[in-house]
A and B are shown apart, each in its own frame.
With several copies, the nearest count.
Chain A
Amino acid sequence: MPGVSRRIAISAVALSVLVGAAVGVVGFTFVYAKGSSYLTDDPSACANCHVMNEQYAGWVKSSHHGVAVCNDCHAPRDFLGKYYTKALNGWHHSVAFTSGDFHEPIHIGARNLEVTESACRSCHQDIVQAIEPGLLVRVSAEGAGGSRGETERHGGPHLPPGDGTMSCVRCHRSVGHMQLD
């Protein structure tokens, strides 16, 4: 895969430049490309990169335009996670953008999707509580006194799988970005 190795190569070169304290150039890149935009919550900061234009435009048309900005959905809730994700994504995107070497159209990856999924859950905690079996386990076990033992004796046919949550985006793909589909 020449594409991948090229990307790694550029990444490596870029890194060594960093480590080699060629701070001036990189700093210029960072500032010029408005790399600092990663540190704010301003959506237009993301759209600084023309490759984000489409998502930006989709967001403007979306149902969440008035209620959520990019980082509400694409950065974890907690402070550390937020800046870790931003740093990771920021670095990835800068390298990808500069090398021009990434899959198009851009599709969200599994890791970032998990971040987004948990953002949905965190805002919509109330409304989606009812549909998660994990919660049902908790509610009925809490209130049931001795009934947990009951379950074990009768042997429910299977234990709740750890990953048995429902993917929101499967049905609500376009809440953040209105699109034709």
Chain B
Amino acid sequence: ALATNIFERKQEARNPFFRVAELTDDTVDPAIWGKNFPLQYDMYLRTVDQVRTKYGGSEAVPHAPTQADPRSVVAQSRLEEDPRLKTMWAGYAFSKDFREERGHAHMLADQTFTERQQVTKQPGTCLHCHASTYNVYKKLGDGDLMKGFDAVNHMTYFEARKLTEHPVACIDCHDSQTLQLRVTRPAFMQAMARMKAAQGVQDYNVNRDATRQEMRSYVCGQCHVEYYFKGPEKTLTYPWDKGLKIENILAYYDENPHKDWTHADTGAPVLKAQHPEFEMWNQGVHARSGVSCSDCHMPYTRVGAQKISDHHVRSPLLNINRACQTCHHFSEAELRARAEALQERTFRLRNQGLDALMGLVNDVKAAKAAGKTDQDLAGVYALQRRGQFMLDFIEAENSMGFHAPEEAARILGQATNLIRQAQILVRDSNFKPEIPDALPASAGDAHAGPGTGGKPVGSPAEGTGGTAH
């Protein structure tokens, strides 16, 4: 048995996969891809699993299926866990239903059946990040992704919904012939091109110009980002024209006036922040060191003699030995403790920010009851808008600060400062608030492009950037 085992391993090592099925650029169904790549496919299927970590993962909560929502299991409600969130989002669909996110297998169902669909009419645009849409765009655009994207954006959600049946699938991340990574999402391609242009790089084409290591994050950055629907066409847009830092994004929303909704309790025109994992990761020391999303969320895993990428995308804290210990030579318990110590600090600052916001909302309600008008409160609204967006930015980011701990703490520290000042201003219209130094929009990012800064000394050149010494 010993001998056979070694023999098998040697075989495996030499012959990583067998071409059983014919794959083309139109093969959407991952089960067909799975015939050639059964290991990746099996792992991919496991994204249905739900396991909780201290601040992440998700919990499987039983749900009695109804006509409107046939799911028998959902993730825990964040609104029930922390009712302050309802007040933050008062008047917006998020205050009706907002849950912890879970694995990729659920993305299409969770979007279809969220109660948010029942309280607002959503556009087809939504599908960009919750389904396998590459082939939908290609087909509707007659081979032109951008045209197909426009077409879907113009549909209603439920019209568009009929065109797709899979969550993100192999074809959305891979070329069918080479299995190389590729970006398939129009909003990301356009946003990157605009940002690069502002940095002086003309005509940037992510699929042509990005390195392999960059692609290992860009495929995720297609969806795990802050976004809004621009104009009447509801074009899905990432507000990165000035860079990825929060100050750049706030400057963008100042120049392209936009509000997501009017706060029901205060009347302020406010913004909702959504899952800026890509933006925050980019401000952290891991991105600076060239560590990609896939390095932690899809770490190499030995299966027999092969090393493959773990397609069970999930919290790295459920898989510390592969996700972290390749780089960090500390015990699992110690690494978990380090991550949680960073998260706990973020959590405390988030909580103080939310407390401040609750105070402000009550103050404004009282002021309005006492006769203050929207005009009297314009200054207060401006502070609420900026402060609340900064707070929500970290609240919405799903790593509880881990992706860039000091940046998360800085943003939360400044958010609280803004909100508390709004509370002063409600009481004292002579008060002169200080807006913590908004970066000049031109300052852009700390480093030229996501994940390229700071190569190790003597690392082999990889297309971009030389070795400084």
Residues of chain A whose beta carbon lies under 8 Å from any beta carbon of chain B = 14, 17, 25-26, 28-29, 32-33, 50-51, 61, 97-98, 100, 103-105, 107-110, 112-114, 117, 125-131, 133, 135-137, 139-141, 143-144, 147-148, 150-151, 154, 156-158, 160-161, 163-167, 169-174, 178-181
Contact = CB atoms under 8 A, between A and B. Distances in A.
Contacts of B6: 29, 32-33, 97-98
A151 B456 CA distance: 36
B62 interface: no
B19 A105 contact: no
A46 to B, nearest CB: 16
Given A137-B178, A139-B15, A161-B211, A105 B325 contact: yes
Contacts of B24: 147, 150, 154
B212 A166 contact: yes
B307 A180 contact: no
Contact of B459 (A25, A50, A110): A110
B307 A128 contact: yes
A169 B455 CA distance: 12
Interface in B370-384: none
Interface in B271-310: 289-291, 295, 300, 302, 304-309
B447 interface: no
B208 A133 contact: no
Given A32-B3, A127-B306, A181-B328, A170 B178 contact: no
List 3 tightest A-B contacts by C-beta distance, closest first. Answer: A126-B13, A143-B19, A151-B177
A171 B295 contact: yes
Interface stretch (B337-345, B407-415, B460-468): B460-468
- A contact patch SS: helix
Contacts of A61: 458
A72 to B, nearest CB: 19
A134 to B, nearest CB: 9
A146 to B, nearest CB: 10
B369 interface: no
Interface string B187-231: 000000000000000000001100110000000000000000000
B326 to A, nearest CB: 5
Given A127-B13, A140-B17, A150 B177 contact: yes
A113 B460 contact: yes
A133 B215 CA distance: 13
Given A104-B322, A161-B463, A170-B459, A29 B2 contact: yes
B19 A163 contact: no
Contact of B2 (A14, A50, A113): A14
A156 B134 CA distance: 13
A147 to B, nearest CB: 7
Contacts of A143: 18-19
B16 A140 contact: no
Contacts of B15: 139
Interface in B322-375: 322, 325-329
Given A29-B3, A127-B306, A157 B179 contact: no
Given A103-B321, A180-B456, A147 B308 contact: no
Given A105-B326, A137-B177, A151-B177, A158 B302 contact: no
Contacts of B462: 163, 167
A105 B306 contact: no
Contact of B175 (A25, A109, A157, A178): A157
Given A97-B6, A171-B327, 15 more contacts: A51-B302, A107-B458, A107-B469, A136-B17, A140-B17, A140-B177, A156-B175, A156-B182, A158-B180, A163-B462, A164-B211, A180-B289, A180-B290, A180-B327, A181-B329
A20 B178 CA distance: 51
Interface in B412-469: 456-463, 467, 469
A108 B458 contact: yes
Nearest to A28: B3
A10 B459 CA distance: 28
Contact of B305 (A109, A127, A173): A127
A21 B467 CA distance: 38
Contact of B22 (A125, A126, A147, A161): A147
Contacts of B463: 161, 163
B14 A129 contact: yes
Nearest to B16: A130
B5 interface: yes
In this complex, the member of A97, A157, A178, A179 whose beta carbon has the largest number of chain B beta carbons within 10 angstroms is A157
Contact of B177 (A50, A97, A103, A156): A156
A9 to B, nearest CB: 12
B58 to A, nearest CB: 26
B71 interface: no
A131 B300 contact: yes
A181 B454 CA distance: 12
Contacts of A131: 300, 307-309
B52 interface: no
Contacts of B459: 110, 113, 167, 169-170, 180
A133 B182 contact: no
Nearest to B295: A171
A130 B308 contact: yes
B82 interface: no
Given A181-B328, A181-B329, A130 B307 contact: yes
8 contacts: A100-B304, A110-B459, A126-B13, A127-B302, A127-B305, A157-B207, A171-B327, A178-B329
A133 B179 contact: yes
